[in-house]
A and B are shown apart, each in its own frame.
Chain A
Amino acid sequence: MSPQWIAVIGASFLAYALKYIGSSIPESWLAHPRIQRINNLIPISLLSALVAIQTVTDKTKFVIDQRAAGVAVAAIALLLKAPFWLVVVSAAATSALVYKFI
């Protein structure tokens, strides 16, 4: 089985298990404010790390290329309160243009 298949099956199974467990356990188990705080911060650290790694690294090397230009434009779009689709499309268009002409 390829690593992709393992990831698809493993991640899907655990995602469903989490959803099901959440709807089934007594509320007091996860109601602790510390768990709530950590849970709210988990997406922030993981998404930030994903943005950084996918923007300026290639395997184990630092690489500044068309992706950095695209993500910079995405950040500007977000600062200007653009909707999500425009953020993604403007990043892709910028990256494609830089890739083509530079």
Chain B
Amino acid sequence: MSTSSSKSVKQDSFTVSLTVGAYGIAFGAAAVADHFTVLQACLLSLLLFSGASQFAVVGVMGAGGSAISAIATSTLLGSRNALYGLRLAPILSHRGIKRALGAQITIDESTGVALSQSTNEEMKKGFWYTGIGVFIFWNFFTLLGALGANAIGNPSAWGLDAAVPAAFLGLLWPRLKDKKSWGVAESAVMVALALAPFAPAGVPIISCAIISVIVGWRE
């Protein structure tokens, strides 16, 4: 019984790791298309290691934004990882070096697999297997994507300029579950586009965080 469930945790973790990690290829390519070097693309995957935040760093700067607005947007997008850590802390009960290492792999996927298990032991396994698995595949595919984009030259000719907003749309889509989330999304599009002609690049994006604060504050 315990062997079979531990096997299924491993299978879940592996499947998630490979499928999610493979998108590292899109990130590596997008980073290079947005004028980051291969080394910088790889360091973002190693050190930042949070998909949406990484895309935001290269996307904001690719659109001409400053480093500050790139960092601010990335950090706001990464704030959910703090809440994941909070949710997982009593389950993992890590200390010292394990907590420090576990923190780096506290992301959507490791949290998702961990919380979908039924026993504490399986949750721990799900967290570590998935976190480490995604980390390995994500970094490997980032390098591939960055090298590939470096080799092919003009990103527009390969459609990479549309791949980044399409990836954002794909990350956004599952979150649009009800009227409230659609309302926030529509307002953000309008505010961002209204500010775009006047505000410095990057500012129209980060400004939209206020919409979430206003809507989330009420009710």
Residues of A bordering B, CB below 8 Å: 3-8, 10-12, 14-16, 18-25, 27, 29-31, 34, 36-57, 59-62, 66-67, 69-71, 74-75, 78, 84-85, 87-88, 90-97, 99-100
Contacts of B198 in A (CB 8 A): 60
Number of A-B contacts (CB under 8 A): 306
**B82–A30 contact, CB under 8 A?**
yes
**Residue pair A44, B162 in contact (C-beta under 8 Å):** no
Are A23 and B169 neighbours in the complex by a CB distance under 8 Å? no
Q: Is the CB of B64 within 8 A of A59?
A: yes
Q: B192 contacts the other chain (Cβ, under 8 Å)?
A: yes
B75 A11 Cβ-Cβ under 8 A: yes
Known A60-B197, A74-B166, A91-B166; judge A7-B83 contact (CB<8 A): no
The yes or no answer to B22 lying at the interface (CB within 8 A) is yes
Q: Which residues of the partner chain A approach B74 to less than 8 Å between Cβ atoms?
A: 7, 11, 14-15
Smallest CB separation, A79 vs chain B (Å): 9
- The list of the 7 closest CB pairs from A to B, nearest first, reads A70-B162, A22-B85, A22-B82, A92-B159, A91-B166, A95-B162, A38-B216
Which of A3, A31, A46, A92 touches B208 (beta carbons < 8 Å)? A46
B residues 169-219 near A (Cβ < 8 Å) are: 169-173, 175-176, 180-181, 184-189, 191-193, 196-198, 201, 204-209, 211-213, 215-217
Select which of A21, A45, A85 is within 8 A of B82 by beta carbon.
Answer: A21
Q: How large is the interface on B (under 10, 10 to 19, 20 to 34, 35 or more residues)?
A: 35 or more
Q: Are A53 and B53 in contact (CB under 8 A)?
A: no
B129-186 contacts to A, CB under 8 A, are 156-173, 175-176, 180-181, 184-186
Query: A18 contacts which chain B residues (CB < 8 A)?
Result: 75, 78-79, 81-82
B162 touches A23 (CB 8 A): no
How many Å from the CB of A45 to the closest CB on chain B? 4
Main secondary structure of the interface of A (DSSP, over half): helix
Residue from B23, B36, B83, B181 within 8 A of A44 (CB atoms): B181
A3–B66 CB distance below 8 A: yes
Contacts of A39 in B (CB 8 A): 79-80, 83, 216
**B97 surroundings in chain A (CB, below 8 A):** none
**Minimal beta-carbon separation of B210 from chain A (angstroms):** 8
For residue A67, give the distance in angstroms from its CB to the closest CB of chain B: 5
Q: Is the CB of A44 within 8 A of B185?
A: yes
Q: Is the CB of A23 within 8 A of B99?
A: yes
Contacts of A88 in B (CB 8 A): 23, 26, 163, 166-167, 170
Does B88 lie within 8 Å of A23, measured CB to CB?
A: yes
For A47, what are the chain B residues with a Cβ–Cβ distance below 8 Å?
52, 77, 168-169, 171-172, 175
Per the bound structure, the CA–CA distance linking A27 and B157 in Å amounts to: 49
One of A10, A16, A37, A42 near B71 (C-beta < 8 A): A10
Tell whether B115 is near chain A: CB-to-CB under 8 Å. no
* Beta-carbon contact of A84 and B71 below 8 Å: no
Output the least CB separation between A98 and chain B (Å). Answer: 9
Measured CA separation A38–B211 after assembly (Å): 9
Instruction: Tell me the residues in window 34-85 of chain B with beta carbons closer than 8 Å to chain A beta carbons.
Output: 35-37, 40, 43-44, 47-50, 52-53, 55-57, 59-64, 66-67, 70-71, 73-85
